[in-house]
C-alpha cells in the first residue's frame, strides 16, 4: 500500500508542541496536518498563522494545512508565507471555488478541497480537473475525538470512480475518527492520505501507531 499518513496536530500536547512535532519528524509519517478553525465556520477555535509559522521552523515534513474558516481567500498568501505546502479550503466556504483553487496553485502550493459529511461528492465534478486533493470529512468538522461516520465509505468509492474514470491526478484524503480499526478499509475503498489525530497522540506509543497506520499490518 502506497498511502500517506498525516498526523493531526489538533490532538497534540500544546504545552509540548515542539516535542510532538519532533516525534512526527522521526516517525514514518509523510505530512503534518494542521487544522485552522475560526469559531464561525465550525464551532471551535484552534490556532492560526503564528503556530503554522513556528511549526514550519522545525518541521521536516510537508505542512498539510486545512482551513475551516469563512472567506479563506483573504488568507491564502499569508498561509503560503507561513509555510503551508498543501492548502485545503472548504467547498462550503468558497463562493468562487475555481478562483480560490487557482490562486492556491499560483502561489506555489498544492490545492485541496474539503467537503463536509452532508455534501455529496457529485458537486465536485467541475473542480476535479483543477484540484490536487479532495479531503472527505468523515466526522462533522470542529472537534477531535468524534466517531467515524460509516456512510463515508460510499462517498470515497464514488469519488474514486469519478477520479479514475476521468484520469484525474487527484489524491483522496480522509479526516475524522481514523484509527487502526478502519484504516485498511479506507485505503481499500480508495483513500490515498489518512489523517489521524487522537489515534496517534493519545496512544502509548505514537511512533508505533503511525507505523501501523503506514504499514497496516
* Enzyme catalytic residues: 35, 175
The x, y and z cell numbers of residue 66, run together, are 486545512
In angstroms, rounded to a whole number, what is the distance separating the alpha carbons of residues 189 and 155? 9
In angstroms, rounded to a whole number, what is the distance separating the alpha carbons of residues 186 and 26? 25
In angstroms, rounded to a whole number, what is the distance separating the alpha carbons of residues 47 and 38? 8
In angstroms, rounded to a whole number, what is the distance separating the alpha carbons of residues 44 and 42? 6
In angstroms, rounded to a whole number, what is the distance separating the alpha carbons of residues 61 and 181? 25
Q: Indicate the DSSP class of residue 142.
A: T
The x, y and z cell numbers of residue 216, run together, are 497496516
Q: Indicate the DSSP class of residue 92.
A: G
Amino acid at each position: 500500500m502506497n498511502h500517506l499518513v498525516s498526523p493531526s496536530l489538533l490532538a497534540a500536547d500544546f504545552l509540548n508542541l515542539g516535542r510532538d512535532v519532533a516525534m512526527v519528524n522521526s516517525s514514518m509519517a509523510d505530512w503534518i496536518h494542521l487544522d485552522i478553525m475560526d469559531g464561525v465556520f465550525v464551532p471551535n477555535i484552534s490556532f492560526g498563522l503564528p503556530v503554522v509559522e513556528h511549526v514550519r521552523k522545525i518541521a521536516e515534513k510537508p505542512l498539510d494545512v486545512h482551513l475551516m474558516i469563512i472567506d479563506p481567500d483573504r488568507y491564502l498568501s499569508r498561509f503560503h508565507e507561513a509555510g503551508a505546502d498543501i492548502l485545503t479550503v472548504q467547498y462550503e466556504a468558497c463562493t468562487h471555488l475555481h478562483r480560490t483553487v487557482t490562486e492556491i496553485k499560483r502561489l506555489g502550493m498544492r490545492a485541496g478541497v474539503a467537503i463536509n459529511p452532508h455534501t455529496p461528492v457529485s458537486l465536485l465534478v467541475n473542480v476535479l480537473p483543477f484540484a490536487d486533493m479532495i479531503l472527505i470529512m468523515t466526522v462533522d468538522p470542529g472537534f477531535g475525538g468524534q466517531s467515524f461516520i460509516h456512510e463515508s465509505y460510499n462517498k470515497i468509492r464514488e469519488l474514486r470512480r469519478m477520479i479514475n474514470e476521468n484520469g484525474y491526478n487527484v489524491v483522496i484524503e480522509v479526516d475524522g475518527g481514523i484509527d487502526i480499526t478502519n484504516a485498511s478499509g479506507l485505503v481499500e475503498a480508495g483513500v490515498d492520505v489518512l489523517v489521524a489525530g487522537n489515534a496517534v497522540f493519545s496512544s502509548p506509543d505514537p511512533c508505533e501507531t503511525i507505523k501501523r497506520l503506514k504499514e497496516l499490518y
